[in-house]
Amino acid sequence: MFTFNPADLTAEQLAIRTLGEARHRSPLSTAHVRRPSSLHWVDTEDRVLFDDSQMMAGARGATVSELPSLEPGGPRSHLFFNPAETNVAIVTCGGLCPGINDVIRGLVIALTEQYGVRSVLGFRNGFRGLVPPDCENPIPLSADGVRGIDRRGGSLLGTSRGAQDPGAIVDTLGTEEIDVLFVVGGDGSLRGASAIAAVARERGLDIAVVGVPKTIDNDIPFIDYSFGFQTAFSHAAEAIRAAHVEAESHHNGVGVVKLMGRHSGFIACYAALACHEADVVLIPEVPVGLEGPNGLLEYVHRRVDHQGHCVVVVAEGAGQDLLPRGQGTDASGNARLADVGALIRERLIASFAAYRRELNLRYVDPGYAIRSVPAAGYDAVYCTRLAHAAVHAALSGRTDMIVAGWHGRFVHLPIGLVTSGRNVVDPGGDLWLAVIETTGQPPVFRAAVNLNF
């Protein structure tokens, strides 16, 4: 799954690009002069170790100073940019996710209230808002203008999918005299951010490009988790609970809940663990067979026989091998998935009909409702702190990088590293084991195999 093998990571692969020497004293030093003990400068010599266990570190056969490590996030005493002369742009890309407005708010208030940045512009509707003709009316952002936006879902700036010409984007940044660009988006958006940073570098322009990783599926690797994920699985758990109430209240009731998760089943797994009402969880990482004594359909019959009802949770990317291919791609270049939820629903209806059994099936797909909600408490805090870390990094001259949590610390990661693969549920790991133990389902549903001799 990865271009970079985590076991073979080198210092070069973890290195963060900088635009140059940090010569400007941070205004935070004077802002906190009355309470100097409250300010935590990052020690530029300090590092956050990549490995989180003695066994992993020991297997490298290296001294502590030679172990792979990450640059810590946080405020620096000296900056590359003089905030009073710095112009900043913010763009949000890709699908909606709880917490985007919290990130925008955190960025704007930290830039203007803490650092005194001269100008902050929001470009509308993703990267398309950075190319003509859509780039003509960016939104001036102020602390007063973003207060309260965290209480609603969506994005104040709008969003879009699809790649745009990085050269044209850099042209716009040049025209607007932008020094720093913040990109809030998933892996495709982050690749676009890296391409923008590369063009700026080729042209000799000192433009810092810093990403705040956004993916509701939690599938960006080398980070603890992505913002909005906890809010998403909490709301998904409520959908499972509602399906369970419906199924339990009807004779031979079956609830089918389709959740987000194109390639990674984290939301389905965590939601099932959060409410304990799911009898079956299907994820993209584990194959599923429908027919035969060890298949899903017969298992649902057995659960209904045993307890009178059954709830099946399916991630949208599960069971794609059971469906016809050739759905094309979306604007981001992602393969369009066939509707596995509809397939499960139809096959259950057919299976119960074949046995001449009554079936009361309830189908729930809460995807867009979940994407549009405001961030819950923990995510709101995380978004704000990510935004602050991004501001500290950008003004210190870091570029072509993201901010993220790693082992409970905020760190800097190269975009090339985090877009080298995908974070997925390990079928042999403790998360999937916890799901199996909670639901009581078999590790794999196996279809019957017909052998003709």
* Active site (catalytic) residues: 217
Cβ atoms of 262 and 337 within 8 Å: the answer is: yes
Residues in the chain: 453
Question: Taking a C-beta distance cutoff of 8 angstroms, is the pair 272, 438 a contact?
Answer: yes
- Helix (H, G, I), strand (E, B), or coil: what is residue 243? helix
Phi, psi of 6 (to 5 degrees): -55, -30
Asked if omega into 133 is within 30° of 0 (cis), the reply is yes
DSSP letter (8 states) at residue 138: P
Residue 426 amino acid letter: D
Beta bridge partners of 25: 78
Nearest 5°: the CA angle 385, 389, 394 is 150
Buried b or exposed e, range 3-18, using 16+ CB within 10 angstroms: ebeeeebeeeebebbb
CB 48 within 8 A of CB 69: yes
- Give backbone dihedrals phi and psi of 143, rounded to 5 degrees, phi first: -60, -45
Look at residues 113, 137, 144, 110 and name the one whose alpha carbon lies nearest to residue 212: 110
* Longest Cα–Cα distance in the chain: 86
Q: Please work out, in degrees rounded to the nearest 5, the angle formed at the alpha carbon of residue 257 by the alpha carbons of 256 and 263.
A: 120
Q: How far apart are CA 443 and CA 449, in angstroms?
A: 18
Q: Is 211 helix (H, G, I), strand (E, B) or coil?
A: strand
The two tokens of residue 190 are 């982050």
CB atoms within 10 A of CB 42: 18
Q: In this structure, what is the dihedral angle of CA atoms 35, 37, 39, 40, given to the nearest 10 degrees?
A: 180
